[in-house]
Amino acid sequence: MITIYVARHGQTEYNVLGKIQGQIDTPLTDEGYKNAFLVANKLKGIKFDHIYSSDLGRAFITAHVIAEKLGLENRIVRERKLREQNFGEFNGMKFEELKNTGFIGNPNFTPKDGENFEQMQKRIVKFVFGLEKLHKDKTALIVTHGGCINALKGYFDNINLRDCLKTKNCNEYIGKFVIDKSILISYEKINGL
């Protein structure tokens, strides 16, 4: 069994502009740093054995702010498998620019040079199952991206992929997943949408 807290990175410049980031990086805004501090305060008192972060800067910086506040700054493992969905040619575009592409709301649409939602979900779930085997009876923090959070929640709640795409979460989201033998034992939303 493993207990995993999952947090989303703080607000970024592209979040403000309504642009798709995917696997490109934009810096946190001042509000993004505030998001990270708020998440850290919500996590105070929890003993984390391990901290994992997407290797993208927006997640890693958020993880660093959280870890520093919790006195764990030298314990972050950067992990490519925790990256947001690769939106390929759509990275950096505004959502409204994609209305007629077949991409919006379609979990099986694979952008050129990218991956579809289902591929990303499999990547994230496989990583989480690996953590369960690696860190039995431990508590871990994962700092990742909105799409990854939706993918995890969708997988464990058995939500169809199309509905996963409709799920909302915010830059202050924290969820607690208790997993045993690849089965979700409990889920609790600690903070955010």
Task: Name the residues annotated as catalytic.
Answer: 9, 84
* Token pair of 176 as six digits: 């607690």
**15: its two tokens:** 């979040």
Give residues with Cβ within 8 angstroms of 23, minimum separation 6.
Answer: 56, 83, 84, 85, 86, 87, 91
Q: Residue 97: which residues within 8 A CB-CB, separation 6 or more?
A: none
Residue 59: closest CA among 94, 20, 104, 21 = 21
By DSSP bridging, strand 76-79 and strand 183-191 are unpaired
Residue whose token pair is 């045993």: 180
